[in-house]
Chains A and B, each alone.
Chain A
Amino acid sequence: MKLIRAEMSLRRQLLLTLSLSFCVLWALAALWLYSDLRIQMRETLDQRLAASARMVAGLVSQLPEDARRRTTQPMLSIPPSTGVACQVSSLSGQIIMRTHGEFAGQLDATAPGFSNKIIDGESWRIFTHIEDDLKITTADRLTERVMLQRNVILVAVLPFIVALLGSLIMLWLGIRRGLRPLEHLRSELACRDPETLTPVKISNAPTELLPVIDTLNRLLVRTSDTLKREQRFTNDAAHELRTPLTAIKTHVQLASRLPSEQAHEALAQAEAGIARLQRILDQLLILARVEVEYPDSEIAYVNSKVIVKTALADLTDHERITVIQKDKPVTVNLPHELAAAALRNLLENSLRHTPHPSPITLEVQTKAQNVIFTISDRGDWPASQSTHNLTQRFWQRNDQTNKRGSGLGLAIVATICERFGGSLEFTARDDGGLVARLTLPISEHSAR
């Protein structure tokens, strides 16, 4: 759920941040453009107003002096046009000509230069120019100017807005497209059953997402393997514990029903069942101990000689084992009890499968950073093709059930090797029997 929320907010966050900054930046640019344009336009229009005043002045000054003064009526009349007005008068106030008679006197008292004035309820931009004894006033209606400005701005700003909207849409599409693999991953994870441990598959995942998916899949595979292993182990352990329990229960029940002579036999069988149960429990405990974490400080490191001694001490029939120590004893990089358990299990298996009094040899030698324990026997082992079965948990031989072990011994050796960086291999001998080679790493710690 957390993942989904994070993904959603990532998309929303991107969209929000980007579209907001787009809008703000484009709006600022538009504002700047607008104000700049307004100033430029006003200046241009003012210049044109002034130019037209000067142009009229030039024209009027060419009239003969007396002609200008002959009459009190304006001599020249210009047909009025909307939006612009003009008036020419002498400095004494005599109107020589004007466009808008209805303005009577409104344009008279204007100071030279630019000014704004409201005439008949409308705003005008007025320019007054004095040349010799002439006063020329030109006026522009502001409404026209505003109209013009509005049109110019509309023409300039509309593409801006369209472009902005376009960018926003592209942005939205881009983000959606870019985050699609994430969305796929989310829906893939959301749809799957929480119990499912199959790897996640996303088509066309971008390189940024690949390590995440890889890590996730590796984790899933590991979890699934662990679960499978645990499940198998639980099943096997249940099976192996139930078998001796059944034997014990059956024979104990029989003992109470049979005449005393046969009852003794039944009890002896029950005892054999108990012994087997005990062996299995011991081995299960060792296995459990292999799988816990060992803090470095708590490991008791010992040398190979001590390991051999400990392993032999626990075996009942160890006189048959000849130990050949080839090199100087070295410290083994394994907890003492586990190294000894591994070696003991191998020796025990050899003893179990080698008919008495056939000898077994244990050779200890140092090679590079490893110590190698080689156990050779002449036991009647199964055919070589099944040597890899030997290390499977609860794998038992088909025949001769009196040789039955716990089914865990060699599996424990294999687990110890795997856990502490050792190795275990079996080779069938041509003359019958088996060679087991246990390789354990040497420690840099000094032995206690």
Chain B
Amino acid sequence: MHILLIEDDELIGSGVRTGLELAGYTVDWFTCAADGRLALANLDSDLVVLDLGLPDIDGLTLLREWRAQGLTVPVLILTARDAVADRITGLKMGADDYLLKPFDLDELTARVQALLRRAAGRAQTLIEHGTISIDSNSRQVWRDDAEVELTRREFMLLQKLFNARGGILDIEQIKDSLYGLDTEVESNAVNVHIYHLRRKLGSDLIRTVRGLGYRLGEPEDMTEGCLK
């Protein structure tokens, strides 16, 4: 899961980035609204953590702009403004959640998880698909009730596919989600992760859509696949 962090304060930004990375997310951090705007236009982020007191453009303006463009990416606002009116304005402008500084790192992670879950249209942390079930909170995966060990990136890729609910994800989307902007990525890195996931969870779990990307296989196919 890729998170876009826009926070102008050096100390807070570095802390939040490390905290979210510890929780297993890929984070790209920008210190001004202009860079954040550019990043969101080019990256397929799953969630934006947005500070309101930005030096160039007010965070709320940026948020309103995104919503006007029809971008539905969940946005969690971080702010030091505690007046109720400010919170209401933030939520009205299309923020999905609101966290007041100073916040608890665990609370931030929990809210990020909840927002991602809600964005995927689920109220439960446990998602099932055929014989596979995953818990997005504890980051555990089971196949036929037997727990399967996945690496951080494999889990993120699996979660991304689950959240797409059968929709097709292209390589770029998957790369953004796994690596963000910072890391130099090998051209076949995504293929390697797909290969490992198929080996661990069954070859029919992920379908290749030629020329477009990947999607989750139908549950029925998976059952058949497993029976073979």
Q: Which of B19, B55, B100, B102 contacts A398 (CB 8 A)?
A: B55
- Expressed in whole angstroms, the Cα–Cα distance for A397 and B10 within the complex equals 13
Contacts of A248 in B (CB 8 A): 102
A401 with B8: in contact, given A245-B101, A249-B104 (CB under 8 Å)? yes
Shortest Cβ distance from residue B107 to the other chain A in the assembled complex, whole angstroms: 10
> Which of chain A's residues has its CB closest to B32's CB?
A398
Contacts of A14 in B (CB 8 A): none
The answer to whether the Cβ of A238 comes within 8 Å of any Cβ in the partner chain is yes
B101–A251 touching, CB < 8 Å: no
> 1/0 contact trace for B101-118 toward A, CB 8 Å?
111111000000000000
> Which of chain B's residues has its CB closest to A262's CB?
B18
> 1/0 contact trace for B130-156 toward A, CB 8 Å?
000000000000000000000000000
Q: Which of A235, A243, A401 contacts B31 (CB 8 A)?
A: A401
> 1/0 contact trace for B66-107 toward A, CB 8 Å?
000000000000001111000000000000000011111110
The answer to whether the Cβ of B53 comes within 8 Å of any Cβ in the partner chain is yes
> 1/0 contact trace for B12-23 toward A, CB 8 Å?
101110110010
> Which of chain A's residues has its CB closest to B31's CB?
A401
- Expressed in whole angstroms, the Cα–Cα distance for A248 and B12 within the complex equals 8
Shortest Cβ distance from residue A264 to the other chain B in the assembled complex, whole angstroms: 13
Contacts of B100 in A (CB 8 A): 242
> 1/0 contact trace for B32-73 toward A, CB 8 Å?
100000000000000000000101100000000000000000
The answer to whether the Cβ of B11 comes within 8 Å of any Cβ in the partner chain is yes
Instruction: Report the stretch among A17-25, A153-161, A181-189, A265-273 that lies at the interface.
Output: A265-273
A269 with B14: in contact, given A246-B102, A257-B22, A398-B56 (CB under 8 Å)? yes
- Expressed in whole angstroms, the Cα–Cα distance for A242 and B9 within the complex equals 12
Q: Which of B18, B56, B80, B102 contacts A266 (CB 8 A)?
A: B18
> Which of chain A's residues has its CB closest to B23's CB?
A257
Contacts of A320 in B (CB 8 A): none
B55–A396 touching, CB < 8 Å: yes
Most chain A C-beta atoms within 10 Å of own C-beta, residue among B11, B32, B53, B81 = B11
- Expressed in whole angstroms, the Cα–Cα distance for A415 and B83 within the complex equals 26
B80–A250 touching, CB < 8 Å: no
The answer to whether the Cβ of A254 comes within 8 Å of any Cβ in the partner chain is yes
Q: Which of A238, A247, A276, A404 contacts B15 (CB 8 A)?
A: A247
Contacts of B83 in A (CB 8 A): 235
> 1/0 contact trace for A403-426 toward B, CB 8 Å?
010000000000000000000000
Contacts of A246 in B (CB 8 A): 9, 12, 15, 80, 101-103
A242–B102 touching, CB < 8 Å: yes
A254–B101 touching, CB < 8 Å: no
Most chain A C-beta atoms within 10 Å of own C-beta, residue among B8, B12, B53, B106 = B12
The answer to whether the Cβ of A367 comes within 8 Å of any Cβ in the partner chain is no
The answer to whether the Cβ of A72 comes within 8 Å of any Cβ in the partner chain is no
- Expressed in whole angstroms, the Cα–Cα distance for A247 and B15 within the complex equals 7
The answer to whether the Cβ of A299 comes within 8 Å of any Cβ in the partner chain is no
The count of residues in chain B whose C-beta lies closer than 8 Å to any C-beta of chain A is 27
B80–A244 touching, CB < 8 Å: no
Contacts of A258 in B (CB 8 A): 18, 22
B9–A401 touching, CB < 8 Å: yes
B11–A244 touching, CB < 8 Å: yes
- Expressed in whole angstroms, the Cα–Cα distance for A262 and B17 within the complex equals 13
B9–A247 touching, CB < 8 Å: yes
A245 with B22: in contact, given A235-B81, A398-B55 (CB under 8 Å)? no
Contacts of A250 in B (CB 8 A): 11-12, 15-16, 19, 102, 105
> Which of chain A's residues has its CB closest to B52's CB?
A239
A254 with B19: in contact, given A238-B80, A238-B82 (CB under 8 Å)? yes
A253 with B101: in contact, given A239-B81, A243-B80 (CB under 8 Å)? no
> Which of chain A's residues has its CB closest to B11's CB?
A247
- Expressed in whole angstroms, the Cα–Cα distance for A272 and B14 within the complex equals 12
A242–B101 touching, CB < 8 Å: yes
Q: Which of B16, B19, B80 contacts A239 (CB 8 A)?
A: B80
- Expressed in whole angstroms, the Cα–Cα distance for A242 and B100 within the complex equals 9
Within 184-219 of B, Cβ neighbours of A (below 8 Å) are at none
Contacts of B12 in A (CB 8 A): 243, 246-247, 250
Contacts of A385 in B (CB 8 A): none
A251–B11 touching, CB < 8 Å: yes
The answer to whether the Cβ of A62 comes within 8 Å of any Cβ in the partner chain is no
> Which of chain A's residues has its CB closest to B56's CB?
A398
Shortest Cβ distance from residue A239 to the other chain B in the assembled complex, whole angstroms: 4
- Expressed in whole angstroms, the Cα–Cα distance for A398 and B9 within the complex equals 10
- Expressed in whole angstroms, the Cα–Cα distance for A33 and B100 within the complex equals 90
The answer to whether the Cβ of A9 comes within 8 Å of any Cβ in the partner chain is no
The answer to whether the Cβ of A316 comes within 8 Å of any Cβ in the partner chain is no
The answer to whether the Cβ of A196 comes within 8 Å of any Cβ in the partner chain is no
B11–A254 touching, CB < 8 Å: no
- Expressed in whole angstroms, the Cα–Cα distance for A272 and B31 within the complex equals 18
- Expressed in whole angstroms, the Cα–Cα distance for A399 and B80 within the complex equals 20
> Which of chain B's residues has its CB closest to A251's CB?
B15
> Which of chain A's residues has its CB closest to B83's CB?
A235
- Expressed in whole angstroms, the Cα–Cα distance for A262 and B18 within the complex equals 10
A239 with B53: in contact, given A254-B22, A266-B15 (CB under 8 Å)? yes
- Expressed in whole angstroms, the Cα–Cα distance for A248 and B83 within the complex equals 23
27 contacts between A and B (CB under 8 A): A235-B81, A238-B80, A243-B12, A243-B80, A245-B102, A246-B15, A246-B80, A246-B102, A247-B9, A247-B11, A247-B12, A249-B102, A249-B105, A250-B12, A250-B15, A251-B11, A253-B19, A254-B18, A254-B105, A258-B18, A269-B15, A272-B11, A276-B11, A398-B8, A398-B32, A398-B56, A402-B10
Extra pairs beyond A239-B81, A247-B11, A273-B11 (20, CB < 8 Å): A235-B81, A235-B83, A238-B80, A239-B80, A242-B80, A246-B15, A246-B80, A247-B9, A247-B15, A248-B102, A250-B12, A251-B11, A253-B104, A253-B106, A262-B18, A269-B14, A269-B15, A272-B11, A401-B8, A404-B10
